[in-house]
Structure 1
Amino acid sequence: MSIKELLFSFQGRVNRKTYWIWNIIYYALIVGFATGINALFPTYAHVILPIFLIVILIPDLAITAKRWHDRNKTSWWLLLNVPLLIGRMTVPMGDPSMADQTTNLQLFSSLAALICGTWILVECGFLKGTKGDNQFGPEPK
């Protein structure tokens, strides 16, 4: 599978190793980019970082979809990412004065994100894929 297919196609399957390597790269990119943007453009970091996150969301969803396919599940399981995205958007970032003003919506979205994130972690990160070919393609090597 080419890099283009890996990062931008929602077809096929990937194994756990590929999924974990991608996640390490994904979070390293986020931390590195956020650190760099905060150092270089602190005034605009709150605008630039969400744009970057949207750009790298597509490869993340593509690889996660392939991992769901390896588990013989459809891409509809990507909907478990919605609470994660909402949870990230509703939690106040970088403003310690807002930490004690947590709303019920923030608590609910954080709990939903935790549950869905744990489910994704177990299914995609720890459980083996389907042996042999399945409806989404051949077993990844």
Structure 2
Amino acid sequence: MRWYLEAIKNYVNFQGRARRKEYWLFNFFNLLILGILYLVGSAMESVFLFVIILIYYFFMFIPSLSVTVRRLHDIGYSGWFVLINLIPLIGGTILFIFTCLDSQANDNKYGPNPKVLVH
């Protein structure tokens, strides 16, 4: 949960680097929250809960984008590579592979390696 909250606190921070742990735990908790909202909304057949889900999507768009950009920075790619996701079928796969790659071991032009920084 710490990494989820960390990503939300840095929601407008498109600078620096995000390690795999931060990226994947943020996405895990995002999916967990959405899954719970969907289950509750489906069980109750409530339009109100589906509106809540849309609002949640709206508010999580920027934090998701920023943590993805920082994740790309961590492997040495420009944040603009997030646009590769717009290529049908293969774009999402390529972005998934990029986000699974290990951090660049040393400092890069986006900052120091977050693995060696003490939180």
TM over 0.5: yes
Matched-pair contact (CA < 8 Å) for 2:85–2:91: yes
Residue-by-residue CA offset, 1:83-122 (whole Å, 9 max, x unaligned): 5xxxxxxxxxxxxxxxxxxxxxxxxxxxx1x311211111
Q: Give the C-alpha shift of residue 65 in structure 1.
A: 0.7
Distance 1:32 1:8 in 2: 26
> Where in structure 1 are there 5+ consecutive unaligned residues?
84-111
Report sequence identity in percent. 32
Matched-pair contact (CA < 8 Å) for 1:13–1:137: yes
Distance 1:37 1:55 in 2: 19
Residue-by-residue CA offset, 1:62-88 (whole Å, 9 max, x unaligned): 1111100011111111213345xxxxx
Code of the residue aligned with 2:74 in structure 1: it is: D
Cα distance change of structure 1 residues 34 and 17 upon mapping to structure 2, 3 Å threshold: same
Number of matched pairs:
110
RMSD: 2.3
Partner of 2:112: 138
Task: Work out which of the two has the higher radius of gyration on C-alpha atoms and give 1 or 2.
Answer: 1
What is the TM-score when the length of structure 1 is the normalising length? 0.66
Q: Does 1:52 align with 2:56?
A: yes
Higher mean C-alpha displacement, 131-140 vs 34-43 = 34-43
What is the TM-score when the length of structure 2 is the normalising length? 0.77
> Where in structure 2 are there 5+ consecutive unaligned residues?
none
Distance 2:70 2:62 in 1: 12
